[in-house]
Amino acid sequence: MRTHFGKLNIPLGDYQRLVRGNIDLPTDGGPDMWNAKYGNPYDNTGRIKTYVGESFILLAKFTKDGPAFRTVSPYGTSNTPGAKHYTDQMQLYVNHQTKEESLKKEWAYKHAERIYHPGE
């Protein structure tokens, strides 16, 4: 810590990073916590890049009108570098925010970017 940061007492996010593509954000959590994360050293700056931990988060609230869902992924919903959804949820995740989700077909069609049949 002293070598890279000049002191021992630094914010966790300065040390522990959520990194994908060209996005590099501070992140909280750690081993044996509810938001478990593990990291490895990277970029020779004394920082660690998380490589395993939370994946998809879904919160469900059961109401008189049916279930209501909120979700977030630490990275995005694509594993293709450069794709629109490769890193699109990272900022939500580090800000402890979620987005609306639904299992209703009408909702899915309303929010779809495109509609296709598999194999097309």
Q: What is the pLDDT of residues 5-40, one digit of tens each?
A: 999 999 999 999 999 999 999 999 888 777 789 999
94, two tokens: 């580090």
Q: What percent of the chain has pLDDT over 70?
A: 100
What pLDDT shows up at residue 32?
79
pTM, entire model: 0.87
Whether residue 54 has pLDDT greater than 90: no
Using alpha carbons, select from 6, 3, 25, 22 the residue that is nearest to residue 14: 25
6, two tokens: 């000049």
